[in-house]
Structure 1
């Protein structure tokens, strides 16, 4: 498919809508995290399990990625992802509907983890099969711009709901609409037959472990450094800096605004330099802003969205540029490593927040950036 010149819009539409609905749900969890701790009267070490559990479910899903890809194909798997996301939103709403039931939060996290595990694999594969090499990096940037747009809207929508006296659990009932609509739409879009390939028509190639290990390491470390900001920023600002809920959410909105602007720039404008060079620029500038935000003033933390925005799409383009025909195979392993890294990150942050405070726990972020930067330098030296 790498030589095709057409753009397969049905793939792009479903992948983009899937990423948007995923981003809206995912980034609604960070702003409500302090409310969950308060309403359920639990410590961060317990509350962090709503993130750990979803990451664990995502890990299990991606571990068997090649199995369900072979059985269902990419397109049907995306439809399953939408169903699980609907269930996740429903369980989240029910958690406070008739008293406080923490197990509903865990069920929601489990369903969302399955949904995110499927979508993280399928959306990237669908995009790689939808465009040619010349537009691939921009299309990947567009895909993750949908996540950025949803991330920007999530705290804004929550603030609107709070102003209308809509509780955070009731807000998640509204989250059923977009994946539900996309699921219905997916049955009416005409798609090429090869995206539905299952069974003997779907060939899972083999790849050497040495080829897989570095992309898994790089994506896992980087995503953990990004999610630590989006999931913990509101909690950091409210607890350590005594900001109000509204101001904290505006800071989070600024983070997602810069994230969106950065990805839109890479989507619209064909920028020079190779993708690998942009990865280095992203990590170095992110490290600087991380340290300024933690040591000087928290206003620098939302600006991380700009420097982190182009890492993931550029890393995906680098993956397909370097590994070409086996890149589709590597993607499930990458998503597995991301899920595993998020489990470890949320668990460590929860423990550090209890024993040392959230302001100290956030230093895990720049440490992860340094590890990713060293990884690229070492890989380039010995490759």
Structure 2
């Protein structure tokens, strides 16, 4: 019993610590992007291409992580992910051109993709009770690190190290080096194997033919692309639309992640009580409406950008809980299928935001005296609309599952088990 408790602590450190570092690695790019744009003289569309190349690395990882897990085990998948992220930090530090920068981001998101699939499989095997609550709690650590990531990143770039400024390269090197820390409990812990179930195991062929699986993909794609677009573009929006300083804009992004994190800490039990899909429907609509209100109320309503984090936060972990219950006979396959398609959506989404901003600036910005705000507003309207679409898709899925008497998420009990 004591050994089991110690092992559980080690595994929780890997899962929670993994999400914590994941949040750091993804959200320090907010304050770094404007500096990179200035240094490499990039257009907004090139930033969109850069972020899409990141998603391509993420997508590639999603295609092989599940099968690789079956071959080498979930323990070594996690170790591989952490090592890839640390290596990306080294290449980031050495980047001197746009091409090498793109490769570094590609490698980082390759590691992130492996880590995300790996952590999803780990969590599904560990949290067999109160899945919605525990999935949201695990992702709470992602939000926790994301709160401080923009301010930490902006601050570290200005640190004086060895007579010079640390800059974005040194900042990435130092933060991504933290990825080595979870490797220690990974080596010491004993990871649970996939639970065995009677009946037909989930396969990619079955998922492709399953309309419910495609609806879940749509929900996750609209919700998460909206989420990551906020993390990528909010600082840029506030700096250029309202002439905010980097520090002030980064502070608003941190406020977004504060609401984001608190939501994941407290919303989990609600998802288990009222159902996963109904929860997604309500919270995604709230996020989209907050973003629309923030755009059209101007600078005085900027706080609504941050408050939108309350609604967008539960979507990803709650969908993971839904997958764990809906496809318990092969959850690794279901997660890989869903997150792989999410990766494709992320590539398209990042491209669209950048090109929408450019398009509106070129077509309508010049006719309004060279005002670039219209392009920024159009890009953010697209981000807000994605959250609303997530809510509509959830409504459709809820009706479909209710008609089939398959609505999941209303659980009882408080036991954690393997």
* TM-score (ref. length: structure 2): 0.82
- Against the structure 1 CA distance between its residues 371 and 266, is the aligned structure 2 distance closer, same or farther, given a 3 Å change threshold? closer
The answer on 1:47 being equivalent to 2:65 is no
- Against the structure 1 CA distance between its residues 378 and 191, is the aligned structure 2 distance closer, same or farther, given a 3 Å change threshold? same
Q: Matched residues in 1 for 2:305 and 2:155: separation?
A: 24
- What RMSD over aligned residues (CA atoms) do the two structures have, in Å? 2.4
- Against the structure 1 CA distance between its residues 336 and 193, is the aligned structure 2 distance closer, same or farther, given a 3 Å change threshold? closer
Q: Matched residues in 1 for 2:128 and 2:7: separation?
A: 8
Structure 1: gaps spanning 5 or more residues: 196-202
Aligned partner of 1:194 in structure 2 is: 193
Task: Pick from 347, 360, 364 the counterpart of residue 382 of structure 2.
Answer: 364
State the number of aligned residues.
367
- Against the structure 1 CA distance between its residues 343 and 270, is the aligned structure 2 distance closer, same or farther, given a 3 Å change threshold? closer
Aligned partner of 1:74 in structure 2 is: 74
Matches within 5 A, 1:155-234: 155-165=150-160, 166-187=166-187, 189-192=188-191, 194=193, 205-206=202-203, 207-209=206-208, 210=210, 211-234=212-235
Q: Alpha-carbon deviation of 1:6?
A: 11
Aligned partner of 2:267 in structure 1 is: 266
Q: Matched residues in 2 for 1:208 and 1:119: separation?
A: 23
Larger Rg: 2
* TM-score (ref. length: structure 1): 0.89
Asked whether the equivalents of residues 7 and 131 of structure 1 are also in contact (C-alpha less than 8 Å), the reply is: no
Structure 2 SS opposite 1:301: helix
Q: Alpha-carbon deviation of 1:381?
A: 3.3
Q: Deviations over 1:180-211 (max 9, x none)?
A: 12223422x2314637xxxxxxx974234214
Structure 2 SS opposite 1:24: helix
- Against the structure 1 CA distance between its residues 50 and 186, is the aligned structure 2 distance closer, same or farther, given a 3 Å change threshold? same
Matches within 5 A, 1:277-292: 277-292=278-293
Matches within 5 A, 1:57-72: 57-72=57-72
The answer on 1:355 being equivalent to 2:359 is yes
Q: Alpha-carbon deviation of 1:162?
A: 4.1
The answer on 1:28 being equivalent to 2:32 is no
Asked whether the equivalents of residues 148 and 254 of structure 2 are also in contact (C-alpha less than 8 Å), the reply is: yes
Structure 1 residue ranges (4+ consecutive) displaced by more than 6 angstroms after TM superposition: 4-7, 268-271
Asked whether the equivalents of residues 57 and 106 of structure 2 are also in contact (C-alpha less than 8 Å), the reply is: yes
Q: Matched residues in 1 for 2:34 and 2:105: separation?
A: 17
Q: Matched residues in 2 for 1:313 and 1:162: separation?
A: 31
Q: Alpha-carbon deviation of 1:271?
A: 6.8
Aligned partner of 1:235 in structure 2 is: 236
The answer on 1:300 being equivalent to 2:304 is yes
